Amino acid sequence: MKIVGQCHCGRVTYQAEIDPQAVSICHCTDCQQLTGSPYRVTVICAGEQIRMTGEALKIYAKTGDNGRTRFQHFCGECGSPIFTSGEGGPDDWGIRWGSIRQREQLKPMRQIWCRSAVDWIHDIAELPGRPED
């Protein structure tokens, strides 16, 4: 599936060819801290499947709980997270779901680092909601 995406301010743009079955939710504490949310949704693909069409990204290196270094790629202007990539292979890149224009078509197919999931994550369907606020 061909996707296009961008950061919040629109300076960083990209195109990619992805497998819509490769969407996952990560509950690790790094994803929680980096997003300010209980989890992060990511689409995994090979780096060669991504083509940058906008401004260059800033990169932050972080060693995860598994000991591997992951590079967080983000917009230097608005701070939007766009990609993650790893050190030393495999060449798997994670495209951050929120940056993808076609995100409503990309349903998560698996969850990882579930031991870090917050206890209340499965209870949110019971919360009252307002469609426009």
Number of domains in the chain: 1
* Average pLDDT rounded to a whole number, residues 100-105: 96
Q: How far apart are CA 46 and CA 59, in angstroms?
A: 18
State the CATH number of the domain containing residue 54: 2.170.150.70
Q: What is the pLDDT of residues 20-71, one digit of tens each?
A: 999 999 999 989 999 999 999 999 999 999 999 999 999 999 887 778 888 9
Residue 131 placed within a domain = no
Cβ contact 108:100 at 8 Å: no
Q: What is the pLDDT of residues 67-95, one digit of tens each?
A: 888 899 999 999 999 999 987 666 789 99
Task: Of 9, 97, 92, give the one whose Cα is nearest residue 55.
Answer: 9
Instruction: Quote the domain boundaries for residue 84.
Output: 2-118
Residue 129 placed within a domain = no
**97 Cβ neighbours under 8 A, 6+ residues apart:** 23, 40, 41, 42, 43, 103, 106
Query: Token pair 């495999």 is at which residue?
Result: 90
